[in-house]
Amino acid sequence: MGKGWHIGRLVLCASIIFSFFNFSHAQTRIVGDVTVTQMVEKHVELNSRVKTIPGYRVQIASFSGVNAKTSAFNLRDQFMTDYPLTQAYIVFDEPNFKVKVGDFRTRLEAYAFLQEIKEVYKGYIIRDNIFPEPPVQEELAPDDESSGDE
């Protein structure tokens, strides 16, 4: 076989490699869709509104079964009556309704609170995302309610 065959083979290999490079390069290019851009912007907006940080809570119960949701809400309401200054949360973690209380920055704060409530509420400390500031309750105060006497 002559030199021409080797040069032809070299040119063929080079063109295959070049076209493969162009093909793989084209596949890494991302063309944005307007809908995707809007979804990303919405996600960023929602994340900017939720201000949580890593911390601790005390989980006082986990319910599953027929009356799990009702039991969780009843326990939360009772806890909030007993400890009105401590926020209580219900989280649905299929198939359980979990009742978690407090927004503690340190494990030590959570432990101190657990010692305070342990006679009435059995629980344990868990890592969770907490609200450094209590969430705003959007309830009307009596002074804010408008009367029809104007």
- Separation of alpha carbons 54 and 129, rounded Å: 5
- Check if the beta carbon of residue 101 is closer than 8 Å to that of residue 86: yes
**pLDDT tens digit sequence for 42-101:** 777 776 777 889 999 999 999 999 999 999 999 999 999 999 999 999 999 999 999 999
pLDDT tier at 122 (50, 70, 90 boundaries)?
Answer: very high
pLDDT tier at 27 (50, 70, 90 boundaries)?
Answer: low
Does the domain made of 53-130 have the CATH classification 3.30.70.1070?
yes
Domain residues of the chain, as ranges?
Answer: 53-130
